[in-house]
A and B are shown apart, each in its own frame.
Chain A
Amino acid sequence: MNTTGRKYAFYGSILIASLIAPWALSAYQTQLAFLWVMVVFALTWDLVGGQMGYTSFGNVVFFGIGMYVTAIIQRNMHFDIEEYVHVAGAVETLKPSEYLAGLLSGMGLGGIVAVVIAAILGALILGMGMRGQYFGICTLGLTVAAGELASGWEYIGAGSGLVTPVFPDGLGERGAFFYYIFFLLAGVTFITLKWLYSGRFGLAINAIRDDEDKAEAMGIHTSKYKIVAWCISAFFLAIAGGGMGHLIGFIDPTEVAFAGATFGVWMILMAILGGKGTLWGPVIGAIIFHITQELFWTYLFGWQRVAMGALIIGIVVFFPLGIMGWMRERWPERFGYRVEKNSVLNASKGGQV
């Protein structure tokens, strides 16, 4: 079989496996739905952190924004706000059509709001040329500030959180419903990023990662590319957040929405585990991480977050290339890099052309 045929067979089998997965493993539908969100996390983090080289601790902010916007749209469309807040959500069950309308318009609007906020923050932070450790700490501050502000804002439920409406009858199983939403989202994210990386955009952000000053000197509008990359990341994260809020059913400002200590850390871990700066790396990292995380929960209960911290250190210090990065280093020909024979220099640096 030629390469194109093999490629189609590969993508086809993934598609089929993904479509039947919730029925084959029906006990794990919610877990599988989470898996696709993890894939979106890792992919969008890798866009900024891996391909562009900006170590961001603040991507989870957009996830939280999407979550809150969707929940608030859903609430304001169908319920009396006062009443809703007082009885913590469960006023009455929505009709399926109402639920869908609120959810989809909320997710769409959440994406737009997140892009606008990302553009403003991007212009202030990235556009002004903040880099490296400063960018890292700044985004870390953003995450915590967002969580603290949300905890103090009465309109969105403040510290006691916000409940999303009960999942209505008539839309099939809850887990499967969200599974397909997130699967679609992860698929669209993957295809968009694959398309972006294959063109000028990908080259530009890789140039920014390798040497930003040189990239700028060569005439690349670095600020523009950086802000656009940040916005794309924000858009998909916000949509994922909108769905996630409804799947979990309860939005806590610091534990669910702006969860720097869980989702915020996981997205980084998944991307570097799979191999930052590669297309498939984050996907593989997300799958492996999600499985090991379940194992951590089962066998290391209470210590799973300790293990998570140790895992980050271990990967960053001893295995910084990640799985895909390591494979690229090991078999550069498979990744389309030409290797000169009998050249010690190329053999040792093969992957990093």
Chain B
Amino acid sequence: MDGLQILFSAPIFSLQLIIDGILIGAIFALAAYGMALVWGVMKIINFAQGEFVILGGFIVYTLHKAGLNLFLCVPLAVVALYIVGWILYHLIIVRIVEKDLFISILATFGIAILMQQLMNQLFGADVQIVESKLDTWFFFDGNVTVLQIKVVGFFIAIVVGACLTLFMKKARLGQAIRATAQDARAARILGVDTNKVYASTFALNAAICGAAGALVVMTWVIQAFAGLAYTIRSFMIVIVAGIGNVSGVILAGLGLGAAENIAGFILGTEFQAAFVFSLLVVILVWRNFKLSLKRRYLK
């Protein structure tokens, strides 16, 4: 608990932790938005969400190593993941949409295992990072440092999120996606090709994850097996915020980022992952506890 004492004696550090946490939290929110999209439209929880994020990161890493401009890599990763998502949909997901829960859980879990192991084989098990060559800002006599790349990543996440919201509201496909989410059968009757909508939704989700992954590799680190943590974070954010609640997703994402950073500092970095996963269990138990109270009340 040395960390806690430091925080009490120098409160300025907690500002540092919160800023870092919020900047990374925007990326969590982005991945969570994608998960909520697939969940809402297709009623599938994508266990491979985190693997998409990490794959996006590895694509940026590889392209950047090949000499491409870092910020040019981001749209390329988005396009690549869109294609991956589209292929995965037509190979696997098309067969599990509207099937029972058991199949969709295990099939997406299988995709997750397959992807992490493939990435492990192709890119190695090492932790990778992309150097951005951007500067660092110092505040409060150097007590608070902000990496510029994190701020840039934060704004890219916001721009991507804003574009998505606009797309969902205005674009024809976005409207079709929302209609399918409300009632797939009614949408089909009214002439929406739901199969195409499902394919675009899943591919779009993968593309969103690609953007998130690109930001992760720029601002943080990626590793072939780190995907599960992103799946769990996305899931937590979605259940805290509720499906279809965009501002809730953003707030929960930022909050999770900050909470995780502070917990990592207080408990020690070796317990940061344990914190994330324990938090998931606690949130789920708490949610069910509230639901069971409501149920008792109805009686």
Show the binding face of A for B, using Cβ within 8 Å. 53, 55, 57, 124-125, 128-130, 132-134, 136-138, 140-142, 144-145, 148-149, 151-152, 159, 261, 265, 268, 272, 302-303, 305-306, 308-313, 316-318, 320
Contacts and interface: CB of A to CB of B under 8 A. Distances in A.
A130 B106 contact: no
A316 B110 CA distance: 9
Interface stretch (B65-73, B199-207, B271-279): B271-279
A55 B102 contact: yes
A317 B281 contact: no
A152 B267 CA distance: 10
Given A302-B121, A316-B110, A317-B92, A148 B277 contact: yes
Interface stretch (B140-148, B158-166, B172-180, B287-295): B287-295
Nearest to A142: B281
Given A305-B117, A309-B111, A152 B270 contact: yes
A145 B95 contact: no
B95 A317 contact: yes
Nearest to B101: A132
Given A144-B273, A303-B117, A309-B115, 15 more contacts: A55-B102, A133-B45, A145-B274, A148-B271, A268-B106, A272-B106, A303-B121, A305-B113, A309-B113, A310-B110, A312-B109, A313-B110, A313-B111, A316-B96, A317-B95
Given A309-B111, A309-B115, A130 B288 contact: yes
Nearest to A130: B288
B186 interface: no
Interface of B: 45, 47, 92, 95-96, 101-103, 105-107, 109-118, 120-121, 225, 228, 232, 235, 239, 268, 270-271, 273-274, 277-278, 280-281, 284-285, 287-289, 291-292, 295
Contacts of A316: 96, 103, 106-107, 110
Contacts of B101: 55, 132-133
A305 B92 CA distance: 19
| Most interface-central of B109, B232, B295 (chain A CB within 10 A) | B109
Nearest to B95: A317
B281 A138 contact: yes
A299 to B, nearest CB: 15
Contacts of B280: 137-138, 141, 145
Contact of A136 (B92, B105, B288): B105
B105 A145 contact: no
A129 B288 CA distance: 7
B288 A151 contact: no
A156 B102 CA distance: 36
- Which 7 pairs, one residue from A and one from B, show the smallest C-beta to C-beta distance? A309-B114, A312-B110, A148-B274, A309-B113, A145-B277, A313-B110, A141-B280
A323 to B, nearest CB: 17
Given A144-B228, A309-B114, A159 B288 contact: no
Contacts of A261: 113, 225
29 contacts: A55-B102, A55-B106, A128-B292, A129-B291, A130-B284, A133-B101, A134-B239, A137-B45, A137-B47, A137-B232, A137-B284, A138-B281, A141-B281, A144-B228, A144-B232, A144-B277, A145-B281, A148-B271, A148-B273, A149-B271, A149-B274, A268-B106, A309-B111, A309-B113, A309-B114, A309-B115, A312-B109, A316-B103, A317-B107
